[in-house]
Amino acid sequence: MQITRQARRLLGLGAILVFLLGLGWASAAGVVSPVGLAQGPANADDDPGDDDGNNKSGNLRLATNTLPSLIAGQEGWVSLLWYAETDVCNVQVTAKAGGATISYPTNTGSFSSLYINDALAETNLDYTAFKITAPAGAGTQNVEFEATFTRLKDSDTLKKADNLVVKDVASCSGNSGKVRQTVPLRVAAPTGAAVVLETPTIQVAKGGPTWVPISFKGNAPNLTNFRVTVTAPTGFELVYPGDGTSSGLDKDSRLPVAVIDSAAVRLDPLETAPGTYQMPVKATWSGGSWSGTIAVKVVS
């Protein structure tokens, strides 16, 4: 399956940065630091792939030895770093796990390819991206990654210093290779309430209605058909989207684990005096509910 280098680069970078930034793995300077990285040996040779013996037996080696810990039911994109022991092309990586669910980038579908290109010069490093959904139960899951590739028989095709963003491997031919490596995925049980209210206080102005978001963070799996209702304080007018009887989430009808989403309601304080009022709020989902209170501050 052929995909463009630019599409692969954009998808790979977006997937890696979105999930890693969400887990706090990026420094203030914006540099991503994958956990568990085992660097390959340094080699000053600009063309280490000229070893004919290595071109027949060298492998693609997984250089990431651990995955980020997830909460039960949490999903997100993770990146794996690979190290080439010889010049390789047509790299395709798949994964399987006993309890976790694995998904791939939409432009490759049934596998993940490398971030820059589907070829990699000997001693170089590149990423693959996977979307992992943790199982509903806590514990440690072993995720097996299988990489298939072709060892380039022409050692002049790739150089260590090649810019693979702009270079094509026109003839991907040579001995086929396959490696399997297992990486543990640690899954933690959720703690506390199934949802967390992220909007304890809202502010509305006198003189007209205001649409206000009420945000929740998922803290347990299977929060489907998520709806929000409120009881307006005395003197307030309340309207739901579409003149309905409740409000759904902005992004989806499901609230994923560790994800924040919002439901909107329209409030009009009418002739209510400036001050702070308590507004009961209730979230419901298939098989459960949560109740709490939001402070509504009316300003002139």
Q: Which domain holds residue 233?
A: 195-299
Domain boundary among 158, 188, 218: 188
Same domain, 80 and 47: yes
- Residue 276: is it exposed, middle or buried by C-beta count within 10 angstroms (0-12/13-18/19+)? exposed
pLDDT at 19: 39
Same domain, 122 and 269: no
| HEC assignment per residue over 101-143 | EEECCCCCCCCECECCCCCECCCCEEEEEEEEECCCCCEEEEE
**Bridge-based pairing state of the strands 288-299 and 201-205:** parallel
Same domain, 220 and 167: no
Domain boundary among 137, 163, 188: 188
Same domain, 265 and 181: no
Same domain, 84 and 23: yes
Same domain, 12 and 145: yes
Assign residue 142 the CATH number of its domain: 2.60.40.10
Give the DSSP letter string of 261-276: EEEEEEEE-TTPPSEE
| H or E stretch covering 15 | helix 5-22
8-state DSSP, 35:
T
pLDDT at 69: 92
Cα separation, 97 vs 262, in Å, equals 32
Q: How many domains does the chain have?
A: 2
Give the DSSP letter string of 209-263: -EEEEEEEEE-SS---S-EEEE-PPTT-EEE-GGG-SSEEBSS-SS--BT-EEEE
CB 185 within 8 A of CB 223: no
Cα separation, 225 vs 222, in Å, equals 9
CB 55 within 8 A of CB 47: no
Same domain, 156 and 225: no
pTM of the predicted model as reported, rounded to 2 decimal places: 0.72
In tens digits, the chain (300 residues) has pLDDT values of 444 444 444 344 443 333 343 333 322 222 233 333 334 444 445 556 556 666 677 899 999 999 999 999 999 999 999 999 988 999 999 999 988 999 999 989 999 999 988 999 888 999 999 999 999 889 998 999 999 999 987 766 777 777 777 777 878 888 899 999 999 999 999 999 999 999 999 999 988 899 999 999 999 999 999 999 999 999 999 999 999 999 999 999 999 999 999 999 999 999 899 999 999 999 999 999 999 999 999 998
Domain boundary among 128, 156, 188: 188
Cα separation, 194 vs 292, in Å, equals 13
pLDDT at 264: 97
Same domain, 92 and 170: yes
pLDDT at 50: 56
Same domain, 131 and 12: yes
Same domain, 295 and 201: yes
Cα separation, 129 vs 115, in Å, equals 8
The residue whose two tokens read 């579908």 is: 109
Using DSSP, state whether 183 is helix, strand or coil. strand
Same domain, 171 and 246: no
Same domain, 224 and 162: no
